[in-house]
């Protein structure tokens, strides 16, 4: 019996960075399908609209037939169950990321035992890039082109 390996890569993607893109593209050979999921948190104010972030993700991965783009409000594991995904994919930049992501992964595993979290290390050249830094550079008039995927353009 061949079971499809589907992973969910959740995040706010406010905006997507080259680090996010790298992790997702490097994971393509590992899974039959990857769903890039924008998590909607009503308590968190995003700089860019949900529609804009969805468009950026679709544009970034338009050449990848095994990648789907979605959004969801609620627990990631609930989305995984609905989508038939058995894996949550996460990128790690630092030891602090690992500690934070490990806690979330263990919580998710305790909520739904057949969903595993898979960690991939960020490439060294992307380890300092975060969406928060990109937003700060953008907000202060800096050029963010080197921090975001080539297929998207952020203008003030």
What are the structure tokens assigned to 127, written together?
Answer: 């380890």
Rounded-to-integer distance, Cα 101 and Cα 109, Å: 12
Cα–Cα distance, 69 to 67 (Å, whole number): 7
> Is 102 considered catalytic here?
no
CA distances from 57 to 9, 24, 51 (A): 12, 11, 10
From 12, 20, 22, 126, the catalytic residue = 20
Catalytic annotation present for 26: no
- Of 44, 110, 155, 156, the active-site residue reads 44
| Cis geometry, peptide bond prior to residue 63 (ω within 30 degrees of 0) | no
Which candidate in 12, 22, 90, 131 is catalytic? 131
Q: Which of 53, 72, 93, 126 is catalytic?
A: 93
Please indicate whether residue 72 is annotated as part of the active site: no
Question: Among all residues, which ones are annotated catalytic?
Answer: 20, 44, 93, 131
């Amino acid at each position: 019996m061949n079971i499809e390996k589907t992973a969910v890569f959740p995040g706010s993607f406010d905006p997507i960075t080259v680090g996010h893109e790298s992790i997702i593209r490097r994971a393509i050979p590992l899974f039959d399908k990857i769903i890039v999921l924008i998590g909607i948190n009503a308590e968190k104010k995003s700089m860019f609209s949900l529609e804009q972030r969805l468009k950026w993700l679709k544009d970034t991965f338009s050449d990848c037939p095994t990648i789907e783009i979605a959004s969801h409000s609620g627990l990631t594991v609930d989305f995984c169950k609905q989508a038939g995904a058995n894996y949550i994919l996460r990128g790690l930049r630092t030891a602090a990321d690992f500690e934070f992501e490990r806690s979330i992964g263990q919580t998710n595993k305790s909520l739904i035992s057949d969903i595993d979290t898979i960690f991939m290390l960020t490439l060294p050249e992307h380890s300092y890039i975060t969406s928060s830094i990109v937003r700060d550079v953008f907000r202060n008039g800096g050029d963010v082109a080197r921090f975001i995927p080539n297929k998207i353009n952020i203008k003030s």
